[in-house]
Amino acid sequence: MKEVNIAGSGIAGMSAAIYLSSKGIPVTIQERKSRPGQSRHGDYEGLENWIFDDNISSFFYKIGFDYSKIKSHPVYKFKVHVLNEEPLLVKNKEPFFYLVKRGEKNNDFDNQLYQQCLDVGVDFRFNTIASNKCDIIATGTRKASAYVCGSSFKTSEKNQVHLLLGHKFSPKGYAYLIICNGFGTIATAFKKVKNTNINYLYNCKEYFRKLNIDISNEKDFGSVGSFAFSSSKIRLPMHIGEAGGFQDYLFGFGMKMSMISGLAAGMYINRERSEAKMLLKKINKKRRISFLNRILYERLNDENMYYFAKKFSISNNPLSILEQAYVWDYKALVRWLKIKNRYEVRPT
Ligand SMILES: Cc1cc2nc3c(=O)[nH]c(=O)nc-3n(C[C@H](O)[C@H](O)[C@H](O)COP(=O)(O)OP(=O)(O)OC[C@H]3O[C@@H](n4cnc5c(N)ncnc54)[C@H](O)[C@@H]3O)c2cc1C
């Protein structure tokens, strides 16, 4: 089969590449930076454990990656901070997510995916702006409607995860503090707010400093995301990952969505067309329901958020509440049909 060209060596591009390469199809990735992971910030991100059915190893295996070679840390508990109430502890027997460090260094997630792609012969062309003849477009977010401001830092604190909610910290979004093996990330993801110059990241840092959390050698970063729903079409060139709107609209968990969209593109090009279509149908249901959940989430005020956080903290299986929130059923379909035309739906 002729060579496949992919634009972008993010998670989505590398997922499509490893799948195609494992099927014996030659692949070249064109990347504008000089290495995968270079546009990331050494921050911790979580591979969520509630949207897809497979366990984490099978999920990676399906795409072509060996999860045993990925450095990650399971998270079984975290604290939720809302209003000025006592923080709520939420814990579960199964991990909520697996933390990975994003970046270009040896133990970083992006670099580990890159090494696995090299092992199966994927060809990378760095410092190259992708040509407009690529078969797969995986160049990341196109339109910003949400912002992420964060800080990576060093710390002597033990491993811990906190979620910080409320309009003072992250309007229509959420903020978090993750500490893992001496490194920490504080970040706030929020929607564009008109006529304001509030420094949400500063507010978050102040909040955690008041809890005596040691934060030093901070390196701030900024990024954009999109919570605008975009429909996806199955045709070449295929837009995958954030370039195709493949993400979880509720909380912005986009890594596994990017990987699975890469798999769908790989299958499509490998002439497994009906399997690719079925997979996309499944992902699109998850995307739609996450968009519905986002619309509901944006309507919550701080008191409502506290109410939900409390529900999670008293549940003995909070992960199952999250899993249920992503089940596509008759009610979800009706809600989707009602809102479908009222929100931005851009064809890719
Ligand atoms: C601060 C932050 C925290 C996040 N936290 C989480 C989390 O906890 N869990 C989670 O699941 N998701 C999280 N996400 C979302 C997740 O990181 C993204 O959904 C995912 O990385 C998107 O992957 P991608 O491959 O689609 O795009 P990207 O990672 O953006 O990759 C695109 C690649 O294309 C390259 N490129 C762009 N334009 C061109 C061009 N013209 N020519 C050649 N190359 C080009 C870029 O350099 C880049 O390497 C977070 C995002 C941010 C910003």
Write out the H or E segment, with its range, that includes residue 104.
none
Q: Using a 6 Å cutoff on CB, does residue 7 contact ligand 1?
A: yes
Q: Using a 6 Å cutoff on CB, does residue 33 contact ligand 1?
A: yes
pLDDT band at 339 (very low <50, low <70, confident <90, very high): confident
Amino acid at 32: R
Taking CA atoms, 347 is separated from 137, 206, 232, 233, in Å, by 14, 41, 6, 7
Q: Using a 6 Å cutoff on CB, does residue 244 contact ligand 1?
A: no
Task: Answer positive or negative: Cα dihedral of 104, 113, 6, 40.
Answer: negative
The β-bridge relationship of strands 146-154 and 27-30 is unpaired
Q: Using a 6 Å cutoff on CB, does residue 242 contact ligand 1?
A: yes
Residue 252, pLDDT > 50, answer: yes
320 C-alpha to ligand 1 centroid (Å): 28
Report the distance separating Cα 240 and Cα 180, nearest Å: 30
pTM, two decimals, is 0.95
Q: Which CATH number fits domain 4-73+99-142+227-288: 3.40.50.1820, 3.50.50.60, 3.40.190.290, 3.40.50.300?
A: 3.50.50.60
Residue 344, pLDDT > 70, answer: no
Residue 208, pLDDT > 80, answer: yes
pLDDT, tens only, 262-306: 999 999 999 999 999 999 999 999 999 999 998 899 899 999 999
Question: What average pLDDT score do residues 216-244 get?
Answer: 85
pLDDT band at 348 (very low <50, low <70, confident <90, very high): very low
Q: Using a 6 Å cutoff on CB, does residue 64 contact ligand 1?
A: no
Residue of 152, 162, 258, 348 to test ligand 1 pocket, by largest number of atoms within 8 Å of CB: 258
316 C-alpha to ligand 1 centroid (Å): 34
Q: So what's the pLDDT on residue 341?
A: 67
Q: So what's the pLDDT on residue 343?
A: 62
258 C-alpha to ligand 1 centroid (Å): 9
**Which position has the higher pLDDT, 95 or 335?**
95
338 C-alpha to ligand 1 centroid (Å): 31
Q: Using a 6 Å cutoff on CB, does residue 138 contact ligand 1?
A: yes
Question: What average pLDDT score do residues 199-219 get?
Answer: 92
pLDDT, tens only, 26-60: 999 999 999 999 999 999 999 999 999 999 999 99
231 C-alpha to ligand 1 centroid (Å): 19
Cβ neighbours of residue 327 closer than 8 Å, sequence gap 6 or more: 289
Cβ neighbours of residue 244 closer than 8 Å, sequence gap 6 or more: 12, 137, 230, 232, 238, 261, 348
Amino acid at 326: Y
SS3 24: coil
Q: So what's the pLDDT on residue 345?
A: 52
Residue 232, pLDDT > 80, answer: no
Mean pLDDT value across the chain: 92
Residue 342, pLDDT > 70, answer: no
Question: Are the C-beta atoms of residues 180 and 159 closer than 8 Å to each other?
Answer: yes
> How many other β-carbons are positioned within 10 Å of the β-carbon of residue 322?
19
Residue 335, pLDDT > 90, answer: no
User: What's the token pair of residue 338?
Assistant: 């009602």
Residue 79, pLDDT > 60, answer: yes
Question: What average pLDDT score do residues 67-86 get?
Answer: 95
Q: So what's the pLDDT on residue 306?
A: 95
Q: Quote the strand ranges of the chain, DSSP E.
A: 4-7, 27-30, 44-48, 73-75, 77-82, 88-91, 97-101, 123-125, 136-137, 146-154, 160-165, 174-180, 183-191, 216-225, 230-231, 238-239, 346-347
Question: Are the C-beta atoms of residues 225 and 252 closer than 8 Å to each other?
Answer: yes
Cα–Cα nearest to 238, from 2, 78, 17: 17
Residue 310, pLDDT > 60, answer: yes
Q: Using a 6 Å cutoff on CB, does residue 247 contact ligand 1?
A: yes
Ligand 1 atom with the shortest distance to the CA of 221? 1
277 C-alpha to ligand 1 centroid (Å): 24
Residue of 18, 34, 45 to test ligand 1 pocket, by largest number of atoms within 8 Å of CB: 45
Question: What average pLDDT score do residues 147-171 get?
Answer: 94
DSSP state, residue 69: G
Ligand 1 atom with the shortest distance to the CA of 247? 19
User: What's the token pair of residue 333?
Assistant: 């379909």
Q: Using a 6 Å cutoff on CB, does residue 32 contact ligand 1?
A: yes
Taking CA atoms, 189 is separated from 80, 127, 230, in Å, by 16, 29, 20
Q: So what's the pLDDT on residue 347?
A: 46
| Atom 29, ligand 1: residue with shortest CA distance | 10
pLDDT, tens only, 95-148: 999 999 999 999 999 999 999 999 999 999 999 999 999 999 999 987 777 889
| Atom 35, ligand 1: residue with shortest CA distance | 8
Cα–Cα nearest to 44, from 160, 140, 156, 158: 160
